[in-house]
Structure 1
């Protein structure tokens, strides 16, 4: 799986939950940032979703 657009997201998912199962905000938002280039691969049809996700990420400074 090395070298794909999904690799950073999949690696980041390992650190999103605490040992008690709570989703940690900062690691979650970091993984969300890695999703944006994946959406680029789908072309302009996903631009609205990309802008929406990117805008929400910037609302929460990390």
Structure 2
């Protein structure tokens, strides 16, 4: 089973699954992973986050 997950800088994402068995479950897993990635990105871009701090040069 292959589950490509793309999360773009604008927050959009694309999930697909290919292979045998469990395609619906694999796509559901991919969507949950994409949601988790977006959550981490939001947290790190907020004040005090690693990305925020890096961009601000502190």
User: By the TM > 0.5 criterion, same fold?
Assistant: no
TM-score, length of structure 1 as denominator length: 0.32
